[in-house]
Amino acid sequence: MNPTGLARNTRENRDGVDLNRQYLHREAVETRAHIEWLDRQPSFEVALCLHEDWESHGFYLYELNPDGLPSHAARMISAVEKICPIDRAEIIEGRPASGGIIHPSSDPRSRPQWPEAFYLFTHKTRLSYTLEAPSDFPMATRVNSLIAAVRVVAEES
Calculate the alpha carbon distances from 18 to 4, 5, 8, 55, 146 in Å: 12, 9, 13, 17, 23
- For Zn ion, the closer of residues 85 and 104 by Cβ is 104
Residue 95's φ and ψ, nearest 5 degrees, are -120, 145
Residue 111, interface with Zn ion (CB under 5 A)? Answer: no
Nearest distance from residue 52's CB to Zn ion, in Å?
Answer: 7
Binding test (CB under 5 A) with Zn ion, winner from 26, 38, 50, 51: 51
Q: Which span sits near Zn ion by CB under 5 A: 44-52, 90-98, 105-113, 117-125?
A: 44-52
Cα separation of the two ends of the chain: 26
What is the chain's Cα-based Rg?
A: 15
In the complex, what is the shortest distance from the CB of residue 42 to Zn ion, in angstroms, rounded to a whole number? 25
Question: Any contact of residue 11 with Zn ion (CB under 5 A)?
Answer: no
Closest approach of Zn ion to the CB of residue 19, in Å:
12
- Identity of the amino acid at 36: E
Binding positions for Zn ion, rule: CB under 5 A: 51
